[in-house]
Structure 1
Amino acid sequence: MTHRATRRKARATTALATLVIAGLALAGCSSGEGASDQSLTPEDLDAALEAGGEITYWGWSPSAPAQVEAFEAAYPNVTVKYVDTGGGGAHNLKLQNAVTAGRGAPDVSQLEYHILPQFVLGESVQDLTSLGFDELEDDFTESTWDSVALYDGIWGLPQDAGPMALFYNKDVYDQYGLTVPTTWDEFHEQAAKLQAADPSKYLAGDFGEPSFTTSMIRQAGGHPFTVDETDVTIALDDEGAQRWTSVWNPLLEENLLDTKTATWSDEWYVALGDGSIASIVSGAWMAGVLTNSVAEGSGSWRVAPMPTYGDDPTTSEMGGSSHVVMNQSENKALAAAFVRWLSHDPESVAIFMESGGFPSTVADLESDAFLGATPEYFGGQQINEVLLDSSKNVAEGWQFLPWQSYASSIFSDTVGPAYVNHTDINAGLEAWQAANVKYGNEQGYTVNAD
């Protein structure tokens, strides 16, 4: 997962995307593209590679150009036109515009896991089940496979994973005598200790990010979104959500978190570099973000397991993306063959990992080379062992809303005030739920609040 823009830029893009995502009503989402082609077989993929042709691929991964070059070298009859869309809201907006217009979509697209359901329900992506992709299930981690195996179909292949961990600045921890927290109760204790010692420093920050909030609810055992095709239940006040807010509310109310520094802003990177923010609870891809964007922190940062609720080892996942075949593709067999190579071929995965990506393939995650890596940035720590352990304990059964982009765009207006005013998050979650129930019903879904 790559974050190139500041939060302010991201908000501007999301505002534009909201106008388009608002058109994701059940009747208009597919724009007449129709259902997936189930006449294709695994043999068609190999035949397509031999016959060759040209396909277009949209994405944002730093490794994509090198992967395309390697693929074309292996299959000289195939040409892949790669378009770097920038990722995030800009990518989703561009892709949804093409879907809505009924033309202009690529053959293959990178899609974040939380966005995939809305394109699946809109019949915009190809079901890959008939192509033998179901036989690849055991090659991927359970949580990432569950992100693409939806609604009785297989709608893509995982690219990366975002098992969560605690990234912390060891120098700051040592300077103030902090103990690496293993539970959320200990996290609160250490946050209070640091603030008491130096009010200019925070153990962590939280600017009010919807993806972080839902990931935290997931770890706590929450299932706020239940989707059965067009029937949706929203329960942002379930036991798991309340378990999380019981931990997070005191941190906000006691001003123990930095809620003013926008995530991904220049100020945020500076705070990570000078120790003003001493920890980050985030996905595995954060290792690459720190390494590439916070050079002054080299040698100071370490990785520890995500704090838990007592003895419960459950973790969560944040971020990650897949590769899909768009239904507009006129050469679905060749596009599917490229997706299979892109996400599954050892050469492709190796290129992705060399760029700092965290793989979703079990063999690579458990390889000696991966687990034994000792990056200098993290003081020679074997950080991948920590991240792999997290990936094995990610809470199962998670679902996203079919309109997750829109839901994220209204988070700051509903839950955001709790971060600004240091008040009860539950009230914000209640408002977020009500707004999503209203929106979903307006778009043709049957939405209930549990």
Structure 2
Amino acid sequence: MTPRFSRRAGLATALASPLALAACGRHTVDPPAHVSKAQIDEAMRTPTELNFWTWTPGIEKEVALFQEAYPAITVDIVNAGQGNPHYAKLRTALRAGNGAPDVAQLEFQMIPSFAITEDLLDLGPYGAGDLADQFVDFAWSQVIGTGGEVWAIPQDTGPMGMLYRTDIFEAHGIEVPATWDDFAAAAKRLHDADPEVYLTNFAPSQGAFFAAMLWQAGANPFGGSDGPDLHVDLTSPEAERVARYWGDLSEQDLISVDADFTDPWYQALNSGKYATWVAPAWAPTFLSSAAASTSGLWRVAPLPQWEAGQQISSNWGGSTSAVMATTRNPIAAAIFAQFINTDPASTDTMANEQFLYPPTKALLEDPAFTGQQLEFYGGQEVNALFAEISDTVSDDFQWSPFQDKVYADFTATVGTAVAEKTDAVAALEDWQQRIEEYADYQGFTVRQS
């Protein structure tokens, strides 16, 4: 398990960097070494109101389960937006020193940016350190700090697989590609036979997809980063391999480069323009709604591999419940974050009613979940396949403390190069330079090895 940014290391950066939230003078919790069961029991019997920021629809059911277990605690649910609007409002409230929630939903890649500015409460002293065995290794590794801090509790994940159209594959005699070489050969065969159809689409502004491709290939651009000492390596041989691969496919017009999650993209999924979607475990449910007219035609397979015989995947997406360091109710907030993500009834609701792909081993080993045969996928047990894939995701991939900036610069460099059929490998160098300059401006000491 590779640790992440620590509060201790982040302090120096927070004092000197424009990235910091200028939190001087605000109330923050100094976690004790240990919180006893008696302290927890007392806190959970004390009338308390918690504020919970989340974008998950229907989360009221999980909150109701918590309030049934702890009737003295009231939870006020706030949807402050999703993505950048959510994080912008959260940072503004934290900077102001008031109005921030007790608990907030955070995506995995955003944890370092809040940990390094001392905005997260270490949940370890509140019993979270005992939960590691309940989660798949890669999900738990994403919430752990350099000093062993537990910055959040995993809520859902996105292990990567490949969704594919059986009708298109069968019509063109294409076998499910086991390797990326097979994938490229299939892309050529298909597009040569029907120029209106592409094996897949590469969205030029989808940095999260490219990060997942780097992860699977063994690249770890920010691995080994620790507070103000920031490792940046976006031009490693593994990263070059990924950029060259997708750049070559685009230059040969063997993949499309449409923007994703747009009306034309949805239409393309329904019309059969794309024969596959290289996507995470949350995609099957999404696709069954977005491309309802294609029901029964899709199946799911593991990612193609860089080397024959391997079984290595990665992750795209997923989120957590994190407690803000500004909370006035640390025990109740910490227990709430743990409860909704570990209580069997709560996690079952998330998986089967909100269709969030679970990080908990209990659900991933539960036949009632893994054995579901999905009609949209021809009766395939899709959950079972992604449960197997979850065990093939490495647990050493790290994020930068400003991943939103990393993604924006990806779009301007590598994403644009792939879309415009220019040199994607050269674009990696531009991406690297932009991130180094930004990191230096933010007060980090940048190193490449």
TM-score by length of 2: 0.91
Tell me the distance in 1 between the aligned counterparts of 2:370 and 2:189. 33
CA distance in 2, matches of 1:288, 1:320: 14
For 1:169 and 1:46, the matched residues in 2 are separated by: 53
Q: Which residue of 251, 262, 266 maps to 1:265?
A: 262
CA distance in 2, matches of 1:52, 1:204: 54
Q: Which residues of 2 match residues 17-166 of structure 1 at below 5 A?
A: 25=18, 27-28=20-21, 30-33=23-26, 36-39=29-32, 41-43=35-37, 44-152=39-147, 153-166=149-162
Unaligned runs of 5+ in 1: 1-22
* Contact residue 433 and residue 449 of structure 1 kept, 8 A: no
Q: What is the alpha-carbon root mean square deviation over aligned residues?
A: 1.7
Q: 2:271 aligns with which of 274, 298, 306?
A: 274
Tell me, yes or no, if structure 1 residue 186 matches structure 2 residue 182.
yes
- 1:442 alignment counterpart: 441
Shift of 1:42: 4.5
> What is the letter of the counterpart of residue 291 of structure 1?
S
Paired residue type of 1:412? T
Q: Distance in 2 between matches of 1:397 and 1:25?
A: 28
Residue 235 of structure 1: how far off its partner (Å):
0.8
Q: Provide closer, same or farther for how the CA distance between residues 131 and 170 of structure 1 changes in structure 2, counting only shifts above 3 A.
A: same
Structure 2: distance between partners of 1:82 and 1:24: 32
8 Å CA contact 2:247–2:417 kept in 1: the answer is no
Match of 2:290 in 1: 293
Which of the residues 314, 326, 350 maps onto 1:316? 314
Structure 1 residue corresponding to 2:195, chosen from 187, 194, 199:
199
- Cα distance 1:322–1:170, how it changes in 2: closer, same or farther (>3 A)? same
For 1:166, what is the secondary structure of its paired residue?
strand
Rounded to whole Å, the distance in 2 between the matches of 1:321 and 1:33 is 27
Change in Cα spacing, 1:71 to 1:285, as seen in structure 2 (3 Å) is same
Instruction: State the Cα distance separating 1:26 from its structure 2 match.
Output: 5.3
**Does the 8 Å CA contact 2:53/2:80 hold for their aligned counterparts?**
yes
Say which is worse superposed, 244-253 or 185-194, in terms of deviation.
Answer: 244-253
Contact kept in structure 2, 1:185 and 1:247, CA below 8 Å: no
Identical aligned pairs, as a percentage? 36
Aligned length: 427
Task: Describe the shift of the 1:319–1:24 C-alpha distance in structure 2 as closer, same or farther (beyond 3 A).
Answer: farther
8 Å Cα contact 1:33-1:124 kept in structure 2? no
Partner SS for 1:314: coil
Instruction: Give the whole-Å Cα distance in 2 for the aligned partners of 1:273 and 1:86.
Output: 28
Q: Which residue of 2 aligns with 1:374?
A: 373
Contact 1:29 1:99 in 2 (8 A): no
Residue matched to 1:237: 235
Using the alignment, how far apart are the partners of 2:279 and 2:20 within structure 1? 37
Relative distance call for 1:267 and 1:24 in structure 2 (3 A) is farther
Show CA shifts across 1:119-172 (max 9, x none): 001000100111121111010010000010122211111001111000112122
Q: Secondary structure at the match of 1:123?
A: coil
- For 1:385 and 1:36, how far apart are their aligned partners in 2? 41
Corresponding residue for 1:11?
A: none
Structure 1 residues 202, 329: CA separation in 2 closer, same or farther (over 3 Å shift)? same
Q: What are structure 2's unaligned runs of at least 5 residues? A: 1-15
